Amino acid sequence: MDDIEEAVTKQRKIRTDCSLTAAERQVIEPYKHEIQSKVGRDARSLVFKTKICPAMFNFWASTNPKMGEAERDRRLAVSCVLSWSIIAD
């Protein structure tokens, strides 16, 4: 069993296209199982709108309330990517 786990671990690659920081990923981690357990698009959308978005925006507001234009654009892109990836079938 250890050989299989070791082989799987070696095959995993770190995603380079992820637009979330490590801290932002930690914010949405508690909702991962809930999102994955939802079947329909409407159910995932509801979790996204009522739990993930507020958690993410509260995190952003607490970490850096005065952001520059580049950071604002990055956050907008992150929220768009999150909504697409979570809600899309």
Asked whether residue 10 carries a pLDDT value surpassing 60, the answer given is no
pLDDT score for 3: 59
Segment 64-81, tens digit of pLDDT = 667 777 777 777 777 776
Mean pLDDT within 10-23 = 68
CA distance 49 to 31: 12
Alpha helices per DSSP H over the chain: 2-11, 22-28, 32-37, 41-47, 53-63, 69-87
Segment 17-58, tens digit of pLDDT = 667 788 888 988 999 888 888 888 888 888 888 888 888 888
pLDDT score for 6: 60
